[in-house]
Chains A and B, each alone.
Chain A
């Protein structure tokens, strides 16, 4: 039995790592969609995290536990610099602005020889164990679930459902949006770094607009009712193409169909459980 499991894990390790990394990316997207912002710059921050971590390991010989947090931190710092102008945009304008940000980062990566140009960086030690990768997903998901159970989650939902009313109630809408964008950027950076160390290569094409859409679709499929919904979406949409590998030509079509069906039939996503946020039920009377 244990042989079977070991065999299974070895055969599917790439897919399993991809599931975990996509889950992190879905959580990153969840952070911004939960506040109702169509912020699609995750691939940019992911690229920053991936390249930063890859450069630190391959060129400066830094250990994993330094380079990965450094990647997330650099993504966070870049987000801190850019968050003010980005938050001036909303709706589709924010979507366009943040997509542009992702493309700018990708073009920078292609044009910097240090970063390997269009070929990217390869030969990154694949030193990130899968258990650590999954532990990261669990810890991040647990933190987000706790946060969404608290008053912060309530404020986030208020901002998403009615920004003006939230403001009138004294919710600091700007601060909530700021926190969500920064959290999203740091998580995307972390996911990028984790991807670099589990796949062993980083290429500019990993961070294209298509990836943005894929990340967005995880959360659209899973719904914003809970961070767990985002993970569900990531798991399904990562495994589905693998399960359907015999129909490889129809893969993207089936993916698209799945999303269309969910949006039509279950507009709030697949994950049905809404977060219950009241701690003080016992305090009644």
Chain B
């Protein structure tokens, strides 16, 4: 449903991405991994529309090429994302964050909502009910009216996922969802991600944590120095010589990323 075709990204003289291609199929968890500086986040930003690529295309079914579609309209196509450095609306409540995630589903205009038209009220009620159901699912319903920033770190990450799910995406993009989590939080997150997949939502995930990725993903694409060096199932990836070299160094000298 998502195909990334020959994407390149150059910043002045630096080539951050060099002709990367891969596809995400309906209902799969697709992981994007690679050592620090491999270009994962840049690629992720290009796919979600935060940055424009220097060359190449990103297409998303059924609209096709996304080049002309700005970030603000991509949620309406069914693409929602989270952020590596959590970007919740901190001054707002947990519930309001989820309500904002449902913005693209709204039919009525903001001005109708401002004067409190009956249609806008009805819409608000149904969106609030849906938001509560989502909060229930990520275990945050009891904190619904608390300020988003009062949540623990792991809970904030789950809230970001709930907020993204509120837009009823067909493709959910998670940027390092397990970063900084402890084992228990990671476990809960893995269960949540599998349940989202089972619902038929495709997931593109950028992550560092290899055991987490191996357990969750159906397919993995590995980047190194802006190039795709491997692509396949977790089993294949773990045995791929190019991947082992990228992570461990050719003569196993550099074990920093092991």
Contact = CB atoms under 8 A, between A and B. Distances in A.
Interface stretch (B25-33, B124-132, B232-240, B247-255): B124-132
B92 A154 contact: yes
Contacts of A147: 114-115
A176 B100 CA distance: 14
A163 B145 CA distance: 23
Interface in B80-130: 80-81, 83, 87-93, 95-96, 99-101, 103-104, 106, 110-111, 113-116, 120-121, 124-125, 127-129
Interface in B125-146: 125, 127-129, 132, 141, 144-145
A88 interface: no
Interface string A172-201: 111110010000000000000000000000
B76 interface: yes
A42 B70 CA distance: 31
Contacts of A82: none
A169 B132 contact: no
B103 A280 contact: no
A146 B114 contact: yes
Interface string A239-259: 000000000000000000000
A169 B121 contact: no
Given A169-B75, A284-B132, A146 B115 contact: yes
Contacts of A176: 110
A168 B163 CA distance: 11
Q: Which of B89, B96, B110 has the most CB of A within 10 A?
A: B110
A169 B104 CA distance: 7
A283 B125 contact: yes
A47 B230 CA distance: 65
B211 interface: no
Interface string A148-180: 001111110110011011111111111110010
Given A151-B120, A170-B104, A284-B132, A278 B72 contact: no
Contacts of A170: 72-73, 75-76, 103-104, 167
Contact of B128 (A162, A167, A169, A280): A280
A96 B224 CA distance: 44
Q: Which of B92, B103, B104 has the most CB of A within 10 A?
A: B103
Interface in A233-285: 274, 277-281, 283-285
Given A179-B110, A283-B125, A164 B87 contact: yes
Contacts of A173: 72
A277 to B, nearest CB: 6
Contacts of A153: 114
B242 interface: no
B167 A154 contact: no
A161 B91 contact: yes
Contacts of B95: 278
A279 B99 CA distance: 12
A135 to B, nearest CB: 19
A118 to B, nearest CB: 41
A276 to B, nearest CB: 9
Given A274-B91, A279-B125, A283-B132, A169 B100 contact: yes
Contacts of A158: 89, 92, 100
A168 B128 contact: no
A162 B87 contact: yes
Contacts of B90: 161
A33 to B, nearest CB: 14
Interface in B164-178: 167
Contact of B87 (A155, A165, A172): A165
A165 B90 CA distance: 11
B48 interface: yes
Nearest to A285: B132
A249 to B, nearest CB: 40
Contacts of A162: 87, 89
30 contacts: A147-B114, A150-B110, A150-B113, A150-B115, A150-B116, A150-B124, A151-B114, A154-B100, A155-B103, A157-B92, A158-B89, A162-B87, A164-B50, A166-B89, A167-B72, A168-B48, A168-B50, A169-B101, A169-B103, A169-B104, A170-B73, A170-B76, A179-B111, A278-B95, A279-B121, A279-B125, A280-B128, A280-B129, A281-B128, A283-B132
Please list the 6 inter-chain residue pairs (A to B) with the smallest Cβ-Cβ separation, ordered nearest first. A280-B128, A170-B104, A170-B75, A147-B114, A165-B87, A170-B103
